Amino acid sequence: MIKNKAKIFSFNEKFNYSKANDYFEENGFLLLRGLTNKDSVKNLSLRVENIFTLPSAGGAFGFSKKDHYRKYIYPPLAMGKPVYEIVLNKKLIKVVENYIGSEPIISELHIKKDDPVPNVYFPLHVDIYPGWTQGEDNNINLNNKTPVKPKYMKNKLGVGCLIYLDDCGLDRGNFMFSKGTQKNIYLKGGKLEDYSDKEKKDILDNIVHLNGKAGDVVLFDDRGWHGPNQPAKKSRSVIEVDFTNAKFFGRWQKVDLQVPISSMEYLDQKQIRVLGKGAKALYNSNTLNYKQYKVQGFNRSPFYKLVVMLINNGFIIQYVKDLIKHYFAKILRRN
């Protein structure tokens, strides 16, 4: 594995967009620092950690669970202005725009917590590869560019983004990227297990660990091999964003982003477009038609019906008390 650390590009008076883009082009990833002030990140992190102790139940705002390992805050934009200030930061959008060559659109946005476990549950993978689809398995064809053909892989199709809400090193599941792999075409799909031992070795030998501080931003090319360092000893909270090349794929999103109308006062038209104005959504978060989408994962749990029963009867004690008062008052009136 590559032992050298990733170069950090700090947003200060010396920041050079051209040099940052050259590094991104060569390596397939970028580590940015100083996008927002430390106090804002710290306050957001404290709020996020508090919500990750409160499950969304009975209509209460809280976290959703995809599986045993991962929690999500959804809708993420309900967390307010601090999230917008990071995700829609104009400097960040410019870096992404410079790389893919057009105005991006956010296809997915999550606030996520990975709990520490002794096994690997999210191995290295590639997000976009020959044969990748946007949703044809769900009988929804958003445009004629998918399934992705090998010849399309020369285009910068998407940029992933990870914003650390904790200081993140080897023990906390830091992000990893296999340097330069975005330049290759992998015809066997996005799972590492499907490749030969030699192919795996070539990928693993070029792994770079992107350690970072709270507030640091990791950008990476969706065509390259990447993933969290696992197993991890500590939990990790992050904001995940996936920017899609709207010029190539058109205006589509994995899931519609619910934007509070009150947020419009501090968003300009470009930011609203990046959020998905006028986009087609593969999954509609207002329905249960697509139970496989990650924030609705608990619907498939064998305990879901039990939780439904508990929620439906969550006020049963108060109800019984009210009934006792009602009938006791009725008896008194008769007397």
Cα dihedral 107, 113, 116, 122, rounded to 10, equals -10
Of 2-11, 81-90, 174-183, 326-335, least confident by mean pLDDT is 2-11
Of 79-93, 127-141, 147-161, 313-327, least confident by mean pLDDT is 127-141
Which of the four pLDDT bands, split at 50, 70 and 90, describes residue 200?
Answer: very high
What's the pLDDT at 286?
60
pLDDT of residue 1 exceeding 50, the answer is no
Among 75-79, 178-182, 261-265, top mean pLDDT goes to 178-182
What's the pLDDT at 137?
53
* pLDDT per residue as tens digits for the range 279-289: 988 877 665 55
Contact in structure between 157 and 101 (CB atoms under 8 Å): no
Domain limits, the chain: 8-301, 302-335
Cα of 66 vs its chain's centroid, Å: 12
pLDDT of residue 240 exceeding 50, the answer is yes
Mean pLDDT of 149-178: 96
Mean pLDDT of 80-91: 95
Q: Is 29 exposed, middle or buried (0-12, 13-18, 19+ CB in 10 A)?
A: buried
pLDDT of residue 256 exceeding 90, the answer is no
Fold classification of 8-301 is: Jelly Rolls (2.60.120)
